[in-house]
Amino acid sequence: MFVPSQGGNEIAWWENDGSQNFTKLSVDSGFNKAQSVYATDMDGDGDIDILGASEGDNEIAWWENDGNQNFTRQSVDSSFKQAQSVYAIDLDGDGDVDIVGASQGDNEIAWWENDGGQNFTKYSVDSSFKKALSVYAIDMDGDGDIDILGASEGDDEIAWWENDGSQNFTKHTIASDFQKAQSVYAIDLEPDGDVDIVAAAKQDNEIAWWENDGSQQFSKHSVDTGFSGAQSVYSTDVNGDGDLDILGASPGRNEIALWENSGGGTTAIELVSFAARPATAPSILGGLALEWQWSVIVGLCVLSSVALCAQLRRSRVR
């Protein structure tokens, strides 16, 4: 499990011994104001590497794994102002892993093309997406290429950029009144064969999802409008019942929450809240000592600025 020290300077991972006992191993303690982390095999050598976004260093970087979990930092871009979010995927379909990022200071969504040798060339997708905080990439329209989504705090906007297949992107606004949008994720939530969107808005204190009608026309459904300072969102089948639930993080409520989908659609998502604790105190989830950080990353609850994350399992939810 890989975690950024949000507001601190560290990228770290915790080794699971197979019994959910975790040992922390630092990857980089000089990554200033680390905001985001993602893990994938960047160089195709069969082991998992790490990517990160640093607000303080204005940097997107990746750490190469030598196969023995010794990591070497490789800078992708050191002038991506107040970098907030990073994700990796084969954006151009050439068989290697590219990078997408969000920059608060540059008001930018961008991607970096991998030439196959982990040399990266930057391409701007949108340089007027005010205070871009979150980015994600997926095939939104089912045409076989990878599109990009973003959340803009400054524009109160959730948007996606349609890829024409040659990495020329056209912006489509999904919502322009989602006050202080913080986080966006996409998945077939219903499921009906198309990609829906989930997002978090800080000022609206809201977790919401947008239903795709199959033609990329989106209808909003509010999940919770009292989730104070909503900062992060993710969707996965947490309780193993075959449908997709929603996870969110709220610093205002000192809370990581789960909205459980009972299979009945938009009205059947109910809140199952984990016990809120003061931000200065450790919390316990599934017998693991956790401290708070307001992110939910790749199916994990991430709860610490120098912290541990625990994968939610069915036994822990019930």
Instruction: List helix spans (H) across the chain.
Output: 314-317
Q: Output the pLDDT for position 253.
A: 82
Q: Output the pLDDT for position 271.
A: 53
Q: Output the pLDDT for position 4.
A: 60
Q: Which residues of the chain fall below pLDDT 70?
A: 1-8, 264-318
**CB 59, CB 53: distance < 8 Å:** yes
* Cβ neighbours around 290 below 10 Å, total: 21
CA distances from 239 to 245, 260, 266, 298 (A): 8, 8, 18, 16
What does the chain come to in residues? 318
Q: Output the pLDDT for position 262.
A: 78
pTM, two decimal places? 0.85
* Cβ neighbours around 214 below 10 Å, total: 12
- How far is Cα of residue 234 from the mean position of the Cα atoms in its chain? 7
Q: Are strands 132-138 and 120-126 parallel, antiparallel or unpaired?
A: unpaired
DSSP 179: T
